[in-house]
Amino acid sequence: MTVTNDFNEVLLNRRSVKQYDTSVKISKEEMTEILAKAMRAPSTSNTQTYRFVVIDTPEGKEKLAKLAPHNQSQVTTSSAVIAIFGDLQASEKFEKMFSKTVELGFMPEEIKNQFQPMLMQRVANMSERELRDWVLTDAGLVAMQFMLVARSHGYDTNPMGGYDKENIAETFGLKKERYVPVMIISVGKAAAEGRGSYRFPVDEVTFWR
Ligand SMILES: Cc1cc2nc3c(=O)[nH]c(=O)nc-3n(C[C@H](O)[C@H](O)[C@H](O)COP(=O)(O)O)c2cc1C
Structural domains in the chain plus CATH codes: 7-191 (3.40.109.10)
Between the alpha carbon of residue 190 and those of residues 1, 12, 65, 82, 176, the distances in Å are 16, 16, 19, 16, 32
Q: What is the pLDDT along the chain (209 residues), one digit of tens a residue?
A: 778 889 999 999 999 999 999 999 999 999 999 999 999 999 999 999 999 999 999 999 999 999 999 999 999 999 999 999 999 999 999 999 999 999 999 999 999 999 999 999 999 999 999 999 999 999 999 999 999 999 999 999 999 999 999 999 999 999 999 999 999 999 999 999 999 999 999 999 999 99
Answer whether 167 contacts ligand 1 (Cβ < 6 A).
no
Is the shortest distance between the CB of 15 and ligand 1 below 6 Å? yes
> 73: Cβ below 6 Å to ligand 1?
no
